[in-house]
Chain A
Amino acid sequence: MVTYPIEIRNLDNFLHFPNFHFLQNSPVINRLSTVPKKTSLYSFPSATRDAGSLVFTFYLFSTFLLTFLYDHPLLLTIILVNVLWFAQRYGVLPQLKMYKSMILYISLFLFIINILLNPVGDLVLWRIFPPSRFFSEINITIENIVATYIGVIRLSIVLLVFGLFNLLVSNDDLMGIMLKIRIPHKIVLLITLSLKFFPLLTQDITNLQEIQKIQQGQVSGQSQKILNKLRTKINIILPLLTNSLERSIQIAQALEARAFGISKKRTSYFHYSFTFQDYASFLSILGASTIQIYLWVQGLLDFSVYPSFSSTFFSITDIILMFSILVFNVILIYIIFPRRRKQ
């Protein structure tokens, strides 16, 4: 029989590492009755919190809303730039790079969908002749390109808004502030828990993609083809939904087990304070959003792609309005907004 020689490495390190002591003491448990019932907050971190989370949520929500009100590609581009500025301002731009490849895949998918489902437009850029006469030829028009651009920018904004929400907004604080302003706690928890799903979902996507990378490698050669790559991306939807469903059941059970939603009037452990800057931010966002909704109702900055472009890109009024939105956002992000980050 051949035996391995035991190899002990880095013994110094080992000996100095505290957790190796034999049967390290478990946390000491005292009788509950021996602990004084009421003590001060002295040893705890401050329980007073600010309203920064609500300000950011309000801003991100208004951005999200505007993205779906307007179709103008230039305006959407401005909103995207604003979102990126916002990320830069709060130092989280590098963390948003993870969405790059997702946006690229979605762009490709939207482009194909637009070509296949909306083969219309005045200006044909390319014409693709199919290999069989059973299929009609496909035209790639300038309208296709612009429609894809609008879709991509809109989706990018949505993804970045969700990403920023997770990076900058504390769910705990958001829940506390919303309860403070008397939004019913069932709605509050519904909102915060559904938002809690987003990072878990991205984690799930990463895990499933890792599994697929391994399986693609095993299915030799398939990983090189774009169509197979797309098919693989679609394949994760079902397990993703199943995982989310399982998780939501477990979270709902945990909520029940922690007495959520019983008839008693819920108390709040944290105290939330609003500063002058918070109020100024709320009013600015509210004012700007109201004006933008008014402009949308009036039909300004209107833009439609199909069957052909409904307005010019560069009417003077549109440009002035868009420039105003840009400048206002800069003021909002760099001057009015609180400087605080997630606590």
Chain B
Amino acid sequence: MINFTNFSFQYNNSPDPTLSHINLQVSQGEYVLIMGPSGSGKSTLLRAINGLIPHFFGGNYAGNILVDGKNPLRIPPNEMAEDIGYLFQNPDNQLLMEKVIAELAFGLENLAIPLEDIEARIQEITQIFSLHDLIPRRVNELSGGQKQTIALASLLAMQPKILLFDEPTSELDPLAARKLFANLSKLNSTSNYIIIIIEHNIAEIIDDIDRILYLEDGKIQFDGNPQNFYRKYEKNPEILKPSLIDLSFQIQEIEPDKGMLNAPIPLNQSQFLESYSAFLSQRTFEHLRLPQSTPKPIEQRLDLPLLSVENLYFAYSSGSEVLSQIYFHAAAGEIICIIGKNGSGKTTLLKNIIGLLIPTKGNIRINRNPKTLPRNANDNEVLLSQGYVFQNPSAQFFRDSVRQELEYIVRGLPLTKEEKIDRVDEILRFFHLTSLQSKYPRFISLGEQQRLALATALIVKPHLLLIDEPTHGMDAIQKVHLLSYLRKIQKEGCLILIATHDHQFASSLATRILYLDNHQIIFDGPPNQVLPYLPDFTTVINDTMNKLTGKTTPYLTVAEVMEVVNHE
């Protein structure tokens, strides 16, 4: 169905080819995951399939591509769209109409489908995705997950043969992402679609996919099934494994003689339990003690909170209440992750604390600045003690170079000229940005942008750092790097508050979780005691250990399980 023959592509103004000598065949019904480091050519490969390359993104190409007998190098992408559905990362920028029903009809109108058939297809897709409640609504009223579902439904209504997905869940909370993956899995098993997906959240789909393509420097380095992929790259630290596979490798390492070396690589929970439950059952998990490897606050001074939020209420001018009865204290050296579904008020809470939004009612006190409400973002004294990193790091850069971004922030500080230069150099070194200091901030990679955003917030040495969705669009390796930077910042005695829907990241980093739902804090406590009670937000490891022991266990990460295993 899809056939690449020795295909190479180089973007205009790019010094090197992005894709090099690609030879690839994908057959009907295959579900393919494309993996690879940032800049390895994953998105370019997808764009080549539907003709966005070379018609939309210009460049030089060699070789040939055939998709269901059509050549996307000659046929423009809008004509290829009859056969190929392409779901992009950001649902906001791919929904083109105001109303959901108009959105569903748009592609069909373009394909000149007769009116009665449009209606039948909309009915059909409405049933498939249970969209009845969404049909009369406006697109801008929907949550991120709902928008992505509508985008997918709009594509499927066009009845393509091939579906291409470019990081479709990067804007979604875990529940919405899981629903999307479930939909894809059903589609793949009940129909004959080719599905090709680029996705960082590998653990959620590894069991469904037939094949992995691993790209590096524009070349296919691996093409085969998931088991073979992880067996080949078992020792490669740059390729992070889904947690159950990681746990199986670590168990095999300490018990090589127990016959588990021949066990298949577990792609899902039941496969893992089948191979390892006997081994793990020998270990005593009955005490369920808190693991030592769990993240801890640096100093434990809740009697001297750095931040106190007391009985906070917030409603927008439209009257819709977003936060109510929010009450918590936080001390220096804590890392608090605020989790909850899309639209649960995580960002709103952060914006209330920083002063970008003014609470309807309640108090926010910052220890070193005992000022209480009302206050706002023009209050320099308050802001000097806080740093804020927005969800999209590139949006917060205004100047021409990495260094200028930092110099702009530092120039208002009460320091001498030399001290200011030293402060900029120091923060550049801390975040490994020195070699990038003359680069235009929007042209550096996402991980580097996130580091620069953190640097601009931390250069004033704030006591409190607020970060909104820091792992947005990051792959697993970038998350590991970010995690180590945040731990370093924590050691400086900074209180870090993070709004995130990345529960895996939160479980590895947070010393404490605030779970928001229905405008309120529902749970407040350490990850090991909160996440296991939230089935939608807990980790695969925790869920597996709960199934294994028949109890709600506090173990969230591979390290925590291995701690118990090694202890025994």
Contacts and interface: CB of A to CB of B under 8 A. Distances in A.
Contacts of A212: 398
Nearest to A232: B398
Given A8-B522, A207-B390, A220-B412, A172 B78 contact: no
Contacts of A221: 380, 412
Contact of A13 (B112, B178, B408, B522): B522
Interface in B90-119: 90, 93-99, 101-102, 105-119
Given A43-B132, A221-B380, A252-B56, A3 B526 contact: yes
A221 B411 CA distance: 11
B380 A217 contact: yes
B101 A222 contact: no
Contacts of A264: 110-112
Contacts of A216: 378, 380
Nearest to A196: B96
Interface string B185-211: 011001100000000000000000000
A212 B52 CA distance: 36
Looking at A27, A29, A47, the one whose CB has the most chain B CB atoms below 10 A away is A29
Interface stretch (A74-82, A107-115, A233-241, A321-329): A233-241
Taking chain A's interface residues, is the majority helix, strand, or loop, or is none over half, making it mixed? loop
A21 to B, nearest CB: 8
A223 to B, nearest CB: 6
Interface stretch (B236-244, B364-372, B381-389): B381-389
B442 interface: yes
A256 B76 contact: yes
Interface in B17-76: 50, 52, 55-56, 76
B411 A219 contact: yes
B358 to A, nearest CB: 12
A27 B119 contact: no
A112 B95 CA distance: 42
Contacts of A28: 130
Contact of A218 (B81, B136, B412, B414): B412
A258 B106 contact: yes
A23 to B, nearest CB: 6
Contact of B377 (A6, A217, A265): A217
A259 B408 contact: no
Interface in A240-275: 242-243, 247, 250-270
Contact of A9 (B383, B411, B522): B522
Contacts of A238: 398
B267 interface: no
B88 A254 contact: yes
Contacts of B411: 219
Nearest to B180: A26
Chain A interface size range: 35 or more
Given A214-B377, A254-B94, A13 B81 contact: no
A226 interface: no
B154 A6 contact: no
A36 B114 CA distance: 16
Contacts, number: 275
Given A17-B517, A35-B127, A45 B119 contact: no
A131 interface: no
Nearest to B107: A258
A35 B120 CA distance: 9
Contact of A258 (B81, B102, B356, B534): B81
Interface string A180-212: 000000000000010010000000000110111
Interface in A9-29: 9-11, 13-14, 17, 19-24, 26-29
Nearest to A219: B412
Interface string B348-380: 000100101000000000000000000001111
A215 interface: yes
Interface in B377-410: 377-380, 382-384, 387-388, 390, 395-398, 408-409
A100 B396 CA distance: 25
Given A250-B90, A257-B85, A217 B114 contact: no
Contacts of A339: none
A255 B412 CA distance: 45
A31 interface: yes
Interface in B448-486: 456, 460
B101 A218 contact: no
A128 to B, nearest CB: 29
A1 interface: yes
B321 to A, nearest CB: 14
Contact of B175 (A11, A24, A207): A24
B518 interface: yes
Given A253-B56, A257-B77, A258-B96, A217 B378 contact: yes
A210 B352 CA distance: 12
A260 to B, nearest CB: 5
B111 A262 contact: yes
A340 interface: no
B99 A266 contact: no
B384 A217 contact: yes
A341 B512 CA distance: 48
A262 B106 CA distance: 13
A19 B175 contact: yes
A170 interface: yes
A20 B520 contact: no
A174 to B, nearest CB: 10
Contact of B383 (A4, A38, A218, A266): A218
B285 interface: no
Nearest to A28: B130
B182 interface: yes
Looking at B97, B98, B292, B296, the one whose CB has the most chain A CB atoms below 10 A away is B98
Contacts of B390: 207, 210-211
Looking at A11, A13, A38, A267, the one whose CB has the most chain B CB atoms below 10 A away is A267
Looking at B182, B395, B411, the one whose CB has the most chain A CB atoms below 10 A away is B395
B551 interface: no
Contact of B296 (A1, A24, A214, A267): A1
A15 to B, nearest CB: 10
A4 B512 contact: yes
Contact of A27 (B129, B442, B521): B129
A259 B109 CA distance: 9
A139 interface: no
Contacts of A30: 127-128, 190
15 contacts: A3-B526, A6-B525, A10-B522, A17-B517, A22-B535, A35-B124, A208-B395, A214-B388, A218-B383, A235-B398, A253-B86, A256-B77, A257-B78, A267-B114, A269-B122
Given A211-B390, A219-B412, 5 more contacts: A41-B119, A218-B387, A254-B94, A257-B84, A267-B109
Q: Which 9 A-B pairs have the closest CB atoms?
A: A217-B383, A219-B412, A6-B525, A26-B182, A264-B112, A254-B94, A29-B186, A250-B93, A269-B105
